[in-house]
Chain A
Amino acid sequence: MEWGELVTHAWWTFAFRWFHVIAGIMWIGHLWYFNFTQTPTMPKIPQELRPGVARYILPEALWWFRWGAMLTIITGLILAWLESKLIGVISIGLNTTPHIASNASLGIGMWLGAIMWANVWFIIWPNQKKNMGLVQVTPEQRTRAARIAGLASRVNTMLSIPMLYGMTSVHFY
């Protein structure tokens, strides 16, 4: 097989699916690390060691987390476009008669993913900046920001379960 034959539309579609999965694991892996490991463990960590997590691990993890989210949505949209189903999934299968179940499934998963992405960039990250002291706020505002960021992160953990159903059930329908 020649290299030129390899780099076809099918190859690009595969490549973007691959990148989409890599970016998605980077994102959801960190989301689950925060919710399943870091947050429940924090109260058990001795007080004098906690700044190590807040100052060194959290900022680094949040960087991979939010840019993983960004790369996931970009590669996902390109993938849907390469598969000629961008309109079909955005309209959750309602754009055709009969309605296509796989577009409904993938589309709902995509909308949940889009809500989660917006949650990361417009709720979690701005509030984490206040929580980490990157933005100057009062102690009360800082406590409130940490609470909002924590709850938004939990909402994303909840949404990740049906979102992944939508992403992985396409070939079932």
Chain B
Amino acid sequence: MKNPMDSLTQTVVLGFVLTVIMVLVIHAIAA
């Protein structure tokens, strides 16, 4: 399996996916 970090596009997409997870964590902490 190729490392997703070898693709710039996949790197950026993973960055946005992580952001969504981060938003959920922030809401869970503040709830």
A positions within 8 Å CB-CB of B: 35-36, 40, 92-94, 98-101, 104-105, 108, 151, 154-155, 157-162, 165-166, 173
Contacts and interface: CB of A to CB of B under 8 A. Distances in A.
Contacts of B30: 93, 98-101, 104, 173
Contacts of A151: 3, 5
A36 B8 contact: yes
Nearest to A165: B19
Interface in B1-31: 3, 5-6, 8, 11-12, 14-16, 18-19, 21-23, 25-27, 29-30
A105 B26 contact: yes
B18 A162 contact: yes
Interface of B: 3, 5-6, 8, 11-12, 14-16, 18-19, 21-23, 25-27, 29-30
**Chain A facing B: main interface SS:** helix
A98 B23 CA distance: 18
A93 B29 contact: yes
Sorted from nearest, which 7 A-B pairs have the closest CB atoms?
A: A161-B15, A101-B30, A154-B5, A104-B29, A162-B19, A158-B15, A162-B22
A101 B26 contact: yes
